[in-house]
Amino acid sequence: MKLGWSHTVLNIKDKEKILDFYVDTLGFKISDSGPVFENGPEIIFISYDPNEHHQLAFVLGREDLNSSTALNHISFRVESYAELKQIKDKFDAIDHEYMPLCHGNALSFYFNDPENNGMEIFFDTPWDVEQPQGEPWDPELDEKEALDWVEKTFKNKPGFILRDESTKEFVNR
């Protein structure tokens, strides 16, 4: 199994200053934004690479700029659904808590490391869908069942399309 780095999410306080720095100064582009959940804080996805939906994301709501960390989570991609299931089996074997969450474009496990740092491991689905999206999913499903569930659950969401057919500049590959 190979874990490939995907993206980092930071908690931020000042949206304008952050976007001025990352977009105007460094040249990132905004790929999506919206509330994390209904009435929740805004998340802004940015990428420098048009083949990656986001390389960085920012969640508004950070209060104390003097605290030592703004890290929300670090994310890793696996190449196959079987590898995602291997992670599940390892977590189950050591009774490590994780949250299965699907974004339409990815089936993810969110969890904390032993020092409570947020982590995500995910498998790409064949679809693109506007973000943010998030629905709990059943990690007991086999790959075909899981992908059938994703398609059924997200097919009526904005921007849902097979990734290979997408003409959007930023897609999560």
Looking at residue 67, its pLDDT comes to 64
79: containing domain: 4-165
Q: Does some domain include residue 172?
A: no
Q: What is the pLDDT of residues 14-36, one digit of tens each?
A: 899 889 888 988 788 999 999 99
Q: What is the pLDDT of residues 130-152, one digit of tens each?
A: 999 999 999 999 999 999 999 99
Of 39, 46, 51, the residue nearest 12 (C-alpha)? 46
pTM exceeds cut of 0.85? no
Whole-angstrom Cα distance, residue 9 to residue 166? 25
If one counts the domains in the chain, the total is: 1
H or E element that contains 30: strand 29-35
CATH number at residue 154: 3.10.180.10
